[in-house]
Amino acid sequence: MTQTKLKGLPLLACVLLALPACANNKGDEAAKGKDGDAAKTDAVAAPEAEGPIAGAPVEGEQKVAEKPGASPEDKAYTLQIEPSEGKVGEEGQVSIRVIPAETWHMNLEYPTKLQVEPPAGVTVAKAKLGKDDAVELDEENCEFALSFTPSEAGDKTFTGEFKFAVCQDEACAPKTEKLEFTVAVK
């Protein structure tokens, strides 16, 4: 039985020796300040970083991390909407296209969708278009042709939403573009 009591003795001795060393730690005085007040310290603040810190959480309106060296003005894609003029009773077409920037490409696996709400006096052949309805969908661009038929003259404003994703080698960026375009109907 004496041996079992002695097994815990070295551990107890280490703990008892370590406690006084911690109590006299100079780090405690620095944390408390010279007068023992935690609010007073001689600590110097670290200089602020000039840009995003790798691995740091993204704050504010910035939603997608930028590649080093990229400027905020760089755009990942161009959205082109080319409405044609319409004639009452005749079918017209609007071309809606996304063209990725040089270092970007279309994500062909993303469920690309175009949904358009026609104005009063206009009908569309199909208001909800998917990948299978695209005129062209490859890594270089995505294009939809929206067919419409106006029943009255005037400027007709269409609204809608275009969902797609563009990618770089490192990551993809899903996008939702709110659409609004006007077709002159004669």
Rounded CA-CA distance 32/64 in Å is 41
Q: How many residues does the chain have?
A: 186
Q: Chain centroid to CA 58: how far?
A: 10
Q: Does 44 score more than 60 pLDDT?
A: no
Which domains can be identified in the chain, with CATH numbers?
2-32 (no CATH), 77-185 (2.60.40.10)
Predicted model pTM: 0.60
Q: Which range has the top average pLDDT, 16-20, 53-57, 152-156? A: 152-156
| Segment 23-50 mean pLDDT | 42
Contacts of 133 (CB under 8 A, 6+ apart): 114, 126, 144
Rounded CA-CA distance 98/143 in Å is 7
pLDDT band at residue 75 using 50, 70 and 90 as cut-offs? confident
Structure token pair of residue 80: 């082109």
